[in-house]
Structure 1
Amino acid sequence: MHRATRGGVRVLGHGDTPALERLLATDPVANVSVSATIRARRSAGPGKGRNGAVVLGIDGDNGLLAACWTGSNIIPVGATPAQGELFGVAVGAMRRRVASIYGDAEAVLEIFDATGWTGARDVRADQPLMAITQASGVQPLAGARLSRSGDFPRVEQASAAMFTEELGFSPYAQGAGQYRERVRGLINAGHSIIAVDPETSEIMFKAEFGAVSPEVVQVQGVWVRPSHRGRGLAGPGMAAVVERGLQLAPTVSLYVNSYNTAAIRTYERVGFTQVGTFATILF
């Protein structure tokens, strides 16, 4: 990797943690996923094991200029397109198996191009990054609440249905145990929100906080049961999600595919505004 980039990219160590935290703080909305992970790990240093996640860095005269989380997902932090290209060369030389590259659109697309990787399952080049910092003017959905441990079976079912619909394959294909632990962890952390149909006891709306930092929560997994679509649940449901999210951090964010115009209109009606553009490469 070092040779491939002619020394332009290095692996960060524990001593780089303060510098990485300062870089993450320059855009807390875009960087919330990495911020939450680094906060949990309490270090910018490499993870355990041969395939443990690492953070790559590019330095300038005044210290760390850009970084790139490199694990099962590749996530650039503060990278320009040129720096994204360097990270792509470095990641390609590492020959890692990854699930996705996501983050700032320009950097992500440059990383992908520079890796030389082929066979991407999907390239989502335009995903508005949206945020809200105050309660929605839409009335929150009555009955929306945090999931409880007893809700796990139906939350798992709804989450798997949403995953399959969104990505085109079952989440269990990548490891059923790992997926179930992810769902259970969101419930236990108080990061899973549901609304249940009082007649059928089925989950009719759900969403999760996929990443949480003191500054930002990022909403993921927004889903309305197909049989309940067209009933006006999405806007009030998201208003309830915002209400809960603002109890955890001053900003609630999400990103959405640009072709999902109905979802974008709903988010705008709730009060979200676009603050950036993401891209996601799925493998």
Structure 2
Amino acid sequence: MRSVLEPTRRARASGARLLANRDLTQVLRVLDDDPVASCMVAARLQEYGLDSRGVYGELWSRGGPGESLCFSGANLVPLRGARDDLRAFADRAVRGPRICSSVVGRRELALPLWELLAGQWGPARELRDDQPLLALERTAGVSPDLRVRRVRPDEIERYLVAAIAMFTEEIGVDPRSGDGGRSYRRRVQNLIETGRAWARFEDGEVVYKAEVGAMSRRTGQIQGVWVHPDCRGKGFGTAGTAAVANVVVSSGRTASLYVNCFNEAARRSYAKVGFRQIATFATVLLD
């Protein structure tokens, strides 16, 4: 019996192809139709284009960017396409070693793609199949925390303590595993140096943190929201996120984030800020 991932002759002839800079204008036009959900990919392409190593990944299409798109890098991100397109993406993904640590994107794309990949890449370490994608296009509906500010480069050690705690709590693994934390430190350092890491410090310790992990021309995606355990339930998360969202909105962009459906406290907090759900994401975490 033929495997679900084994391409037919027709699929081989119309499989996923690698896009290049000559496709960039059309790709960006397509991503602009869905600016919030495509923010992670659009931000990279707007900064680096498609031929630069700075993208740290590849963009695939089957039949043209207007019909199907998928980004393959640290995350595998399906952006648009029908079932046959997802099958072509899955076929291309399993041809070589897996380079991604997750499959993430709109639920209606990410879950069917994972179904096609699970036989080769499964089982998943964790499946988060209901993650409301939220957006805010105007000033927050609550007062922002005026003590939340950009983190300075000389504060990286104190900020890293909170960032590691957040990552471990949210993802379930220590980001220092593997290389002793060098790559994670570089990532956090880049966020700080580019002015996209925010925190409130008390007595030299971070009590609230968040980052704008991706910043496209139209959207700023907030990530890594965390409140020190001793300070939870006191409004730090709501007021702090309002402060970060206001900065994004004041730049002329839509503030966005996605949250696990079961995190009721966070969802109530974001609703107070004024975020509304515009779609649903799903994330498949891989070992």
Asked if 1:182 is matched to 2:187, the reply is yes
Distance 2:26 2:130 in 1: 30
Asked if 1:73 is matched to 2:80, the reply is no
Structure 2 equivalent of residue 104 of structure 1:
106
Structure 1 equivalent of residue 284 of structure 2:
281
List aligned pairs for 1:1-283, cutoff 5 A.
5-6=11-12, 7-43=14-50, 45=51, 47=53, 53-59=57-63, 64-115=66-117, 116=119, 117-175=121-179, 176-197=181-202, 200-283=203-286
Displacement of 1:19: 1.6
Return closer, same or farther for 1:240/1:46 CA change in 2, 3 Å cut-off: closer
> CA-to-partner distance for each residue in 1:225-274, whole Å, 9 max, x for gaps?
00111212111111111111123342000000011111111101110000
**Partner of 1:87: helix, strand, or coil?**
helix
**Partner of 2:99: helix, strand, or coil?**
coil
Displacement of 1:201: 2.0
| 8 Å Cα contact 2:101-2:285 kept in structure 1 | yes
Return closer, same or farther for 1:144/1:258 CA change in 2, 3 Å cut-off: same
| 8 Å Cα contact 2:7-2:91 kept in structure 1 | no
| 8 Å Cα contact 1:58-1:64 kept in structure 2 | no
Distance 2:95 2:234 in 1: 50
| 8 Å Cα contact 1:130-1:255 kept in structure 2 | yes
**Partner of 2:177: helix, strand, or coil?**
helix
**Partner of 2:68: helix, strand, or coil?**
strand
| 8 Å Cα contact 2:16-2:85 kept in structure 1 | no
Displacement of 1:110: 1.2
| Counterpart residue identity of residue 34, structure 1 | V
**Partner of 1:230: helix, strand, or coil?**
coil
Return closer, same or farther for 1:80/1:46 CA change in 2, 3 Å cut-off: farther
Distance 2:221 2:87 in 1: 27
Deviates more, 1:207-216 or 1:33-42: 33-42
Distance 2:144 2:53 in 1: 41
> CA-to-partner distance for each residue in 1:56-75, whole Å, 9 max, x for gaps?
10215xx6311111112101
Displacement of 1:83: 2.8
| 8 Å Cα contact 1:46-1:53 kept in structure 2 | no
Displacement of 1:94: 3.3
Return closer, same or farther for 1:69/1:183 CA change in 2, 3 Å cut-off: same
| 8 Å Cα contact 1:2-1:10 kept in structure 2 | no
Distance 1:107 1:263 in 2: 25
Distance 2:237 2:61 in 1: 40
Distance 1:94 1:111 in 2: 17
Return closer, same or farther for 1:145/1:110 CA change in 2, 3 Å cut-off: same
Return closer, same or farther for 1:249/1:80 CA change in 2, 3 Å cut-off: farther
Displacement of 1:141: 0.9
Return closer, same or farther for 1:39/1:237 CA change in 2, 3 Å cut-off: same
Displacement of 1:46: 7.4
Unaligned stretches of 5+ in structure 2? none
Deviates more, 1:149-158 or 1:71-80: 71-80
| 8 Å Cα contact 1:12-1:46 kept in structure 2 | no
Identity across matched positions, percent: 35
Distance 2:45 2:93 in 1: 19
